[in-house]
Amino acid sequence: MDTIEVNDLKKQATTDALVIRYRTYSRRVRTMLYLGGVLQDRTHSVIRTYIIGFLVILMCLSHSIFLLNFSRDYADNLTLMVKCFGQMSSFIAPALMSACFLIKREKLLELHETLNDLFERELEQDQETTLAILHAFDRQSYIMFFITTSLILSHVCPPLIFIIYQSVRHIEPKGYRLPFLAKFPWIVPINGGFLFYLHFLYHFFIGWWVIFTINSVDSLFGFYAFQISSILHAMSIKLRSNLRSREVLKICIQIHGRLLQCSYILEDIWQLIILRMLVTNACVICALIFEASQFTDITMNEVFSFIFFIALKLLQTFIYAWNGSSITSASEYFREGIYFSDWPNSSLDHHIRANIIVSMMQKPMIIKTLKISSVNVNMFINIMNTAMSYFFLLQSLDEGG
């Protein structure tokens, strides 16, 4: 008896730890959304939300224009053009994400409220089953945040350390540089002064939006994928353990219908974000490989920047693909749960039976980008194949030139 009680206590302690871990995961995503300027919440002022959102769009798009202006002066330098394209893809991303969240604000709030309500109901009934796959999702945001922050710091820290060093040593500055490539329509002094530090602060905030806006939006997609997958997984377990329960079948079919609508909303909000990620990541991965093949004299800072950048693009692509596959797999598992629930022999009315047949005949939930590509692991493989094709094309152009 004592052994059984000890096992029960250990099991309860493990479950409580999972609940705490989920609450921490939820708060972390919310905090990142707030810091990234893309938090959509009914408790926050709508005017404030739009002001911050437009600020992110204005700053990131303006810097993309300044970077494009810079690249025009080096159109004959293919390696530098490749580097400019890689940076521009990172600066456009926060602007697009902020714009999508502002335009789809009401749908995003509806998605969040619906999924949160359904997930909390499942959590009350069976915490262990609902949180069984939590560990596979909550680590993603940690890894992505670390890589993105390291990448931005590799650009911001060297010029900042140089400025601090010369200030402490009272060395008269001969020339400072800004963290990111850019050519402004006006002259920016390179020997310090208020105007230079104002531009440095502008670059600092650009790096801030890249870190927190991109990571928060990517993490939010993973968070919603986790909630949808967990609810479907929990319902599948119910269907297998309650073979002839009329009420369980009825509730599961109703929840599945709501989750199906949530998947459509999720696809509607993220389709442009994912499409941009697909196109730019394939090109950037190709560009980075090409840039690495051109390296002759390289500093350690450039090595770390290259490693962090290509790791970020590979991981970002894989995480989106894996999250999409998780939703599809959980949906297929749910359909199998209905099939094995022995519903033909249960006392169900015609309406519920019709809904069950419709659910079984429907295709699994698949997140798509503008009906062009499905978000799954095959997408990651296609991106890698495309990147290598672009690389060989660039190599041919370079050799031909």
Give a three-class secondary structure readout of 177-205: CCCCCCCCCCCCCCCCCHHHHHHHHHHHH
What confidence score (pLDDT) does residue 1 get? 47
What confidence score (pLDDT) does residue 295 get? 62
Distance (Å, whole) CA 12 – CA 8: 6
Distance (Å, whole) CA 18 – CA 20: 5
What confidence score (pLDDT) does residue 263 get? 93
DSSP-derived secondary structure letter, 1: -
What confidence score (pLDDT) does residue 352 get? 60
Distance (Å, whole) CA 305 – CA 351: 59
pLDDT in tens, the chain (401 residues): 456 666 666 777 778 888 999 999 999 999 999 999 999 988 888 899 999 999 999 999 999 999 999 888 887 777 778 778 888 888 999 999 999 999 999 999 999 999 999 999 999 888 888 898 898 888 888 889 998 998 898 889 888 888 888 888 777 767 788 889 888 888 888 777 889 899 999 999 999 999 999 999 999 999 999 999 999 998 888 877 754 566 777 788 888 889 999 999 999 999 999 999 888 888 888 877 777 776 666 677 677 777 888 888 888 989 999 999 999 999 888 887 776 665 555 555 556 656 666 665 567 788 888 777 888 888 888 888 887 887 777 677 666 55
Classify residue 307 as exposed, middle or buried by CB count within 10 Å of its CB (0-12, 13-18, 19+): middle
3-state secondary structure of 17: helix
Strands (E), 245-352: none
DSSP-derived secondary structure letter, 172: P
What confidence score (pLDDT) does residue 296 get? 61
Question: 368 forms bridges with which residues in the sheet?
Answer: 374
3-state secondary structure of 369: strand
Is pTM, for the whole model, over 0.75?
A: yes
